[in-house]
Amino acid sequence: MNRSETLLRLDSRQMMKFRMLCPSGLIGYKAAGVRDLGSQTGCRIFVENAVRPCLERVINVTGGAAVEMAIFLNDGTGELEMVVVSAAQEGLFRVLETILELEGNGDDEERVVECRLLVDSSHIRALMGETPGQNVDAIRRIHGATIKVLNKEHLPACIGKAEELIIQIMGRSLCVKRALVLEVSRCLQDCATGRIQANMSSGVMPINENRDRVLSVDEENVQLKIAFRLLCSNKSAGGVIGCDGTVVHALEKETGAAISFYPAVHGSNYRVAFISSLEKRDPVCPSAQNAVIRVFEKSMEVASDWGLISCLCNETIVTAKLLVARHELRCLIDDKGQIGTDIRIASGVKIKLSPTDLPQNLDAENDEVIKIVGEYDNVKVALFQVTGKLRENIFSRFVSEGVACEQYPNSSVPKSSHNEAAKRS
């Protein structure tokens, strides 16, 4: 067993806390939306109270430190790169995305932004490098982001810990995101969990070792975020959510998946149900797939109760619509360019792409709608088979192409979904 493999065999109970600064006026009443990211990432996200006259607030992100799940980053060419991170790192990344969106920078990868983290002063040396500035210079060259350690006089009044300093990451939005995920958060997490000894001269981890370590992830036990987007009519969505979210919370408890809805948009006939779960390749129960079926069943029950369809039985002709990134369709298209041929033959349904059904509240340039039409029971079978192929494709690409520094053309978790899906009603 080499050193990289040893470092990855962490106690799954190890936790990591990141502390990020955010403009106090910006977060305001949106604090609840930031906290909701916890249910999507498995983290505890706590927004500290404002301290007057301080203009900043602290957001605490606490989650598992085991490096065993994947997120998708823009690689700078428009393609997506899959990177294995911890739950705490994903939570931190989603909080940054939300802050940038609130600032109006969410859709502009070229705009210059900053990210400010509170860091234990004992971990600064590992981040900076054995030779002062060695690592941050490498990060600037590789990712295009500038990293500075601010003196104690720059600490805002809301900080009560004297041992903390501010790490400031500045650059284009895309560069800041990549530097935060690929380098800064990883290094700080390694220090905090003991994977590198920050105070030992031989224990400072060079930047280029990070990627080698990620490539040795145990593929059998790695957990990936499996996510699907199901379209529900506006009228059915309300019934699936239920009063104060009681129905959707019950579905979450039943399936073990996170279920949330994009906000309703005036003029659109649909809302998107975002369904996700952290899973191993061969689970006893594929939570996300099961949740898709349960949400679809519930939406049909609501449609029947409200008279949107005449009745609901096994022979009733119904339609299921799944929002899928265009790159994901490859695993469903046969040699003749037909989609879901084997599924159509086996289940007796019709499957086609329906671009006219794309929701108006999405930047759907790279998305398609898979439309499944047939008898109620057959549609459920086909929907489970389609999501099964999409799910297997995620794991197959992970195993065959590796993790770090690889382009991964999959967007089951779209850039905007975690920000837009926070509201349940």
156-174 average pLDDT score: 82
pLDDT at 31: 59
- Quick one: average pLDDT of 270-299? 89
Strands 367-375 and 350-353, sheet pairing = antiparallel
Rounded CA-CA distance 275/290 in Å is 10
pLDDT in tens, 94-111: 999 888 888 776 666 778
Q: What is the pLDDT of residue 13?
A: 56
182 φ, ψ to 5°? -80, -25
Taking the C-alpha atoms of 342, 288, 72 and 240 in order, what is their torsion angle to the nearest 10 degrees?
Answer: 110
What is the spatial distance between Cα 175 and Cα 170, in angstroms, rounded to a whole number? 8
User: What is the pTM (predicted TM-score) of this model?
Assistant: 0.54
Segments making up each domain of the chain, as ranges: 3-214, 226-420
Alpha helices in 231-375 (DSSP H): 234-241, 246-255, 287-305, 341-347
Same fold, 3-214 and 226-420: yes
What CA–CA distance (Å, rounded) separates 137 from 146? 8
d(C-alpha 123, C-alpha 164), whole Å: 10
pLDDT bracket for residue 201 (50, 70, 90): very low
Cis peptide before 206 (omega within 30 of 0): no
The predicted structure's pLDDT at residue 3: 31
For 13, the token pair is: 């109970």
pLDDT tens column, 120-141:
888 888 888 777 677 888 888 8
- DSSP readout, 47-90? EPPP-TT-SEEEEEEEEE----EEEEEE-SSS-EEEEEE-HHHH
Q: Does 3.30.310.210 match the CATH number of domain 3-214? A: yes
Chain-centroid distance, C-alpha 199: 33
What integer pLDDT is reported at residue 163 of this predicted model?
73
Lowest mean pLDDT among 69-73, 112-116, 242-246: 69-73
User: What is the number of residues in the chain?
Assistant: 425
Asked if 420 and 273 touch (Cβ cutoff 8 Å), the reply is no
Determine the 3-state secondary structure of 381 from DSSP.
helix
At 221 the pLDDT is: 62
**pLDDT cut 70: percent of the chain above it:** 77
What b/e string do you get for 105-127 counting C-beta neighbours within 10 Å, with b at 16 or more?
bbeebeeebebbbbbeeebebbb
- Which pLDDT score, from 0 to 100, does residue 423 have? 36
Q: What's the pLDDT at 42? A: 80
Task: Judge contact between 99 and 29, C-beta under 8 A.
Answer: no
Q: What is the pLDDT of residues 255-264, one digit of tens each?
A: 989 898 887 7
pLDDT tops 90 at residue 79: no
Which CATH architecture describes the domain 226-420? Answer: 2-Layer Sandwich (3.30)
pLDDT band at 199 (very low <50, low <70, confident <90, very high): very low
Residue 12 confidence (pLDDT) above 70: no
Asked if pLDDT for residue 1 goes beyond 60, the answer is no
- What pLDDT sits at residue 29? 55
pLDDT score for 210 = 42
Instruction: Give, in degrees to the nearest 5, the angle at Cα 327 between 321 and 333.
Output: 70
- Express each pLDDT in 23-37 by its tens digit: 877 766 555 667 677
Average pLDDT, the chain: 78
> What's the pLDDT at 265?
72
